[in-house]
Amino acid sequence: MTTTTAAPIRVKEAGYVSPRRQRVMGIVFLALATMIWAFFSRTTTGQMVTTFVMSPGGAVATPDLVFKTLPFLNVLATISAVIGAYQLVRGFHGRTNTMLGILAGFFVIAFLAWGAADKSLNLAGLLKVAVVRAVPLTLGALSGILCERSGIINIGIEGMLLAAAFTSTVAASLSNLWVGLIVAILTGALFGWVLAVFSIRYKVNQIISGTVINIFATGMTSFLSAKFLQKYQNLNSPGQFPTWEIPGLSKIPFFGPILFSHNLFVYGVFILLIVLTIALFHTKWGLRLRSAGEHPKAADTLGINVNRTRYMATILGGMIAGFGGAYFTLGSVGRFDEVMTAGRGFIGLAAMIFGNWMPTGALGAGLLFGLADSLAGKLTILRIPIPPKFLEMAPYIVTMIVLAGVVGHTSPPAAEGTPYEKE
Amino acid sequence: MTDNKEMTPPPADNSVKPEKAAKPNALNIFLEEVSRNSLTVTILAILTGLLLGGLVAVLTTETVYSSFRTSFGLGFREVFRVFGITYSALFTGSFGQPDVIRAAIASRDWQQINTALSPFFESLVQSTPYILAGLAVALGFRVGLFNIGAEGQIFVGALAAVWAGTRIHGLPPIIHAPLALLVGGLGGAIWGFIPGWLKAKTGAHEVINTIMMNYIAFRLSEYLLTGFLKDPTKAHPISATVDTAAWLPRLFPNPNRFHVGFFIALIMAYLVYLLLFKTTLGFQLRTVGLNPNAARYAGMSIVKNTVLAMALSGLLAGLAGANEVLGVNRNLGVAFSSGYGFDSIALALLGNSHPLGVVLASLLFGFLRNGALRMQLQAGIPIDIISIMQAAILAFIAAPGIIRTIYRLKEPKEESGSPLLTAARKGQAQ
């Protein structure tokens, strides 16, 4: 039994939703509507007023958004209920996931409106922080997508982020920020190459290859940091990339400051997202890469060098992780601390799965997880009686639910995790 | 790709093949056997990993470079000095200083002997959670499951044990300590059960789910240690001290922290051995791990065995956490995380997923970890050096090809791979 041939061939018809899934989703939609009504509407009185501050303190002053809480919540609950009923009776078919996204958005907005009842919440600031927090998660996810689409499971994203964060700090401290950035990307490439060598040449179980990278990167960076960075502080002062306001775009009311007043890394995510989407799904290169991950034997028959494709994808994926690693130091705090990535690489992995191995999905998941992260900091200020730690757990729980196929259906590349051997 | 044609799992361990002595060219045959043997690769992998650690220590010592600038000979002397101090600190830190031990024995003072030998016993203390966590991962491997969530299960085990140790009062020690240990084990078992059940019922990959469960456990512990389980008299998030009745008894006076947990770990290793290799259930578990299709045709339940294996794996990891809390720390802080969970993957591989192998590998890691503490104090080498060594050992064990290339060893007779770790179960669990 070779796994390559035994892998079930899944025929995916565009927009097909099984009757069972249609019903489940309808119930989920109705549950969301009921929750908005039960948790939020019923605990709100008619006089309550929600205030959203709409400018994060940028140059453009957008007037605050003030509205009555109760009617707003009721409208959201009603729309959600109607959508749920329609899903149960007729079904949205191909647009089911879109509707799920919209309803999840409604739920978050309802939650915020409820939390900010008779208080004021800086919505623009919240979203701006969410965008920043999404950066390392999305980059980690994009790195994972590139590797896994070619058939190599990359569980070492965390280690790659950490290693690149370290090398970029030292390099940038010794010369300048741009050198630091390049060194970070090269570090990522090196680790990607190591992952590929282990997984392809030595056919090591890919989970173990990734674990080796994680243990090694954690050990090495902590070792070098304890040995040198604490003694020679000048090696740990890389500085930070400045904020670049994009002329014109950053002047858009509300959205401008949230999306277009950041440093290089946020724009890097946008650019990578576009480039990867086009490259993976609209070029010959991408088709070949994906075929190596879905059905390497077929790809080989058609003259694609499977292992070379995988090497390339893994190294490129490592480079993206390296770029993401530099964010922690050069794009965020401007210094290296031991184990500073704190599991972001693993949330990136979760974002990849949540986004169903699609770049746009990864960004969406990254933003959602980033929002959860950013909101966790606001809960105590808003006096919402949910422990912030529970909100921080949300990304992991949501990923497990998605993975179990209860809400959505994920489809990982069919041949990921199995080494390819020519017969 | 290995073919799993045979129905029965292979023999338990790949011990040293019997040497063919009394032949004219006995030495050649012996060398031939040794160079093909996987035990040789294991030993070489360990030695190479240790050597690499020393090399990193030398390369990151500034005096080495300054000595080389003065003269070549002086540089070499410095290299050997650093090598020497690294390994001697590692050795004396993990076993104790020979001259101190000799003097203590000569003095016939019980307390002095105890102190002199305490580094050795401390190494055993450090090995204890390794044994339990390593068994957890090894058990999973045998059933074809990758439990990467031992870290989280250790945390939950520790949390549950602390709860039982601080919230239950008035029990005699003979009941309280085992109860707290058991509660800890159950906590871990729940944490392992969830990914196992999800794997069996929905096909969700256990690697991802156990990672997610790790982080849920971390956040949960942060939450509980700042609230429900927090010691109200302390400013920082730390639990109250466990009731003395729930302590795992220590066998020697201070500073020796050796406690009965070590024996519990050994007993668990023996039980896991019995379960896997001497019972019908163990046969089923291993068959599911080696060839799920064969297991299914033989009427074994994949669902039952998967869930059971993950729960048992979590139980062992939970015991590791409970053991640390009840035997060593006696309270639980947020900085409890120790990387045991990730090291345990290396342990299971190093021990070839066999309980005896895991115990030996755990002793190695325990002694390394304890020795590294002294290395940090004496030679100024940060303790993280052992992570580098462990990563290297793990890499060499997982990729024997590297070791075979370095030492020009011959290929084994048949490409055995590691049947435990091939993705045999992929794509069929749905």
HEC states along chain A?
CCHHHHCCCCCCCCCCCCHHHHHHHHHHHHHHHHHHHHHHHHHCCCCCEEEEECCCCCCCCCCCEEEEHHHHHHHHHHHHHHHHHHHHHCCCHHHHHHHHHHHHHHHHHHHHHHHCECCEEEHHHHHHHHHHHHHHHHHHHHHHHHHHHCCCCCCCHHHHHHHHHHHHHHHHHHCCHHHHHHHHHHHHHHHHHHHHHHHHHCCCCHHHHHHHHHHHHHHHHHHHHHHHHCCCHHHHCCCCCCCEECCCHHHCCCHHHHHCEECHHHHHHHHHHHHHHHHHHHCHHHHHHHHHHHCHHHHHHCCCCHHHHHHHHHHHHHHHHHHHHHHHHHHHHCCCCCCCCCCHHHHHHHHHHHCCCCHHHHHHHHHHHHHHHHHHCCHHHHCCCCCHHHHHHHHHHHHHHHHCCCCCCCCCCCCCCCCCCCC
* A200 and A72 co-located in one domain: no
Walk along chain A (423 residues) and give the pLDDT tens digit of each residue. 333 444 444 444 455 677 777 888 888 889 989 988 888 888 888 788 888 887 776 555 677 788 888 888 889 999 999 998 988 888 877 777 778 888 888 888 888 888 888 877 888 888 888 999 999 999 999 999 999 999 999 999 999 999 999 999 999 999 889 999 999 999 999 999 999 999 998 888 888 899 899 999 999 999 999 888 888 888 888 888 888 888 878 777 778 888 888 889 999 999 999 999 999 999 999 999 999 999 999 999 988 999 999 999 999 999 999 999 999 999 888 889 888 888 889 889 888 988 888 999 899 889 988 888 888 877 777 777 778 888 888 888 888 887 777 655 567 888 887 888 776
Q: Which residue's entry shows tokens 């084994």?
A: B412
Is A8 domain-assigned?
no
Per-residue burial over B354-369, b if 16 or more Cβ lie within 10 Å, else e, is: bbebbbbbbbbbbbbb
* A276 and A203 co-located in one domain: yes
Identify all chain A residues contacting B422, using CB atoms and an 8 Å cutoff. 3, 205
Task: Mark which residues 200-229 of A lie under 8 Å from B by CB.
Answer: 201-205, 207-209, 211-212, 214-216, 218-220, 222-224, 226-228
Count other C-beta atoms under 10 Å from residue A386's C-beta. Answer: 14
How far is residue B171 from each of residues B168, B177, B422, measured CA to CA in Å?
8, 9, 48
Task: Mark which residues 129-168 of A lie under 8 Å from B by CB.
Answer: 155
Tell me if A228 and B60 make a contact (CB, 8 A cut-off). Answer: yes
User: Residue A162 corresponds to which amino acid?
Assistant: L
Among the partner-chain residues B214, B390, B427, the one whose CB lies closest to the CB of A8 is: B427
Is A4 domain-assigned?
no
Per-residue pLDDT, B34: 61
Per-residue pLDDT, B183: 95
Tell me if A220 and B387 make a contact (CB, 8 A cut-off). Answer: yes
DSSP code of B259?
A: B
Q: Give the integer Cα–Cα distance in Å for B179 and B279.
A: 27
Q: Evaluate if residue B153 carries a pLDDT over 70.
A: yes
Counting one residue from chain A and one from chain B, the pairs whose CB atoms sit within 8 A come to 162
- Read off the pLDDT of each residue in B106-119 and give the average, rounded to a whole number: 85
Per-residue pLDDT, B30: 63
Q: Give the integer Cα–Cα distance in Å for B218 and B332.
A: 13
Tell me if A6 and B342 make a contact (CB, 8 A cut-off). Answer: no
Under the banding of pLDDT at 50, 70 and 90, the label for residue B425 is very low
Per-residue pLDDT, B181: 93
* A376 and A236 co-located in one domain: yes
Q: Give the integer Cα–Cα distance in Å for B210 and B360.
A: 26
User: Which residue, of A124, A151, A183, is where some domain finishes?
Assistant: A124
* A252 and A211 co-located in one domain: yes
Per-residue pLDDT, A319: 96
* A260 and A366 co-located in one domain: yes
* A94 and A148 co-located in one domain: no
Is A6 domain-assigned?
no
Is A9 domain-assigned?
no
Per-residue pLDDT, B413: 55
* A110 and A138 co-located in one domain: no
Q: Is B143 helix (H, G, I), strand (E, B) or coil?
A: coil
Of B18, B59, B19, B36, nearest in space to B403 by CA:
B36
Q: Give the integer Cα–Cα distance in Å for B370 and B376.
A: 10
Which ipTM was obtained for this model?
Answer: 0.82
- Burial environment of residue B203 by CB neighbours within 10 A (0 to 12, 13 to 18, 19 or more): middle
Tell me if A216 and B3 make a contact (CB, 8 A cut-off). Answer: no
Report yes or no: A207 and A349 within 8 Å, Cβ to Cβ. no
Among the partner-chain residues B204, B209, B394, the one whose CB lies closest to the CB of A215 is: B394
The β-bridge partners of A67 are A50
* A302 and A178 co-located in one domain: yes
Tell me if B215 and A393 make a contact (CB, 8 A cut-off). Answer: yes
Is A253 domain-assigned?
yes
DSSP code of B313?
A: H
Q: Give the integer Cα–Cα distance in Å for B142 and B171.
A: 38
Tell me if B391 and A202 make a contact (CB, 8 A cut-off). Answer: no
Per-residue pLDDT, A244: 86
Tell me if A389 and B384 make a contact (CB, 8 A cut-off). Answer: no
Report yes or no: B45 and B403 within 8 Å, Cβ to Cβ. yes
Is A333 domain-assigned?
yes
Tell me if B418 and A205 make a contact (CB, 8 A cut-off). Answer: yes
How many CA atoms lie within 13 Å of A376's alpha carbon, on the beta-carbon side? 18
A421 touches chain B (CB under 8 A): yes
Tell me if B343 and A208 make a contact (CB, 8 A cut-off). Answer: no
Q: How close B245 gets to chain A, by Cα (Å)? A: 32
Number of domains in chain A: 2
* A228 and A375 co-located in one domain: yes
| Relative orientation angle of helices A284-294 and A123-149, to the nearest 10 degrees | 70
User: Which residue, of A72, A97, A124, is where some domain finishes?
Assistant: A124
Per-residue pLDDT, A312: 95
Of A40, A4, A6, A21, nearest in space to A409 by CA:
A21
Per-residue pLDDT, B343: 86
Report yes or no: A145 and A364 within 8 Å, Cβ to Cβ. no
| Relative orientation angle of helices B72-95 and B355-379, to the nearest 10 degrees | 120
DSSP code of B10?
A: P
Is A1 domain-assigned?
no
- Read off the pLDDT of each residue in B201-227 and give the average, rounded to a whole number: 88
DSSP code of B16?
A: P
Q: Give the integer Cα–Cα distance in Å for A87 and A22.
A: 7
Better-predicted residue by pLDDT, B271 or B372: B271
| Cβ within 8 Å of residue A357, ≥6 positions away | A145, A148, A149, A410, A411, A412, A413
A399 touches chain B (CB under 8 A): yes
User: Which residue, of A76, A106, A124, is where some domain finishes?
Assistant: A124
Tell me if A1 and B56 make a contact (CB, 8 A cut-off). Answer: no
DSSP code of B17?
A: P
Among the partner-chain residues A207, A222, A392, the one whose CB lies closest to the CB of B384 is: A222
Q: Evaluate if residue B207 carries a pLDDT over 90.
A: no
The β-bridge partners of A244 are A262
- Read off the pLDDT of each residue in B423-429 and give the average, rounded to a whole number: 35
Is A118 domain-assigned?
yes
Q: Picking from A240-249, B26-35, B110-119, which range would have the lowest pLDDT averaged per residue?
A: B26-35
Per-residue pLDDT, A391: 81
Q: Give the integer Cα–Cα distance in Å for B252 and B242.
A: 20
Tell me if A211 and B345 make a contact (CB, 8 A cut-off). Answer: yes
User: Residue B251 corresponds to which amino acid?
Assistant: L
* A108 and A225 co-located in one domain: no
* A49 and A175 co-located in one domain: no
* A116 and A144 co-located in one domain: no
Q: How close A293 gets to chain B, by Cα (Å)? A: 14
Token pair for residue B12?
A: 């338990």
Q: Evaluate if residue B427 carries a pLDDT over 80.
A: no
Q: Give the model confidence (pLDDT) of B47-100 as tens digits.
A: 999 999 889 988 888 888 888 888 888 888 888 888 888 888 888 888 888 888
A339 touches chain B (CB under 8 A): no
User: Residue A168 corresponds to which amino acid?
Assistant: S
Q: What is the CATH number of the domain that holds A301?
A: 1.10.3470
Identify all chain B residues contacting A9, using CB atoms and an 8 Å cutoff. none
A207: containing domain: 132-416
Best residue of B211, B293, B377, B418 to probe chain A, by most A CBs closer than 10 Å: B211
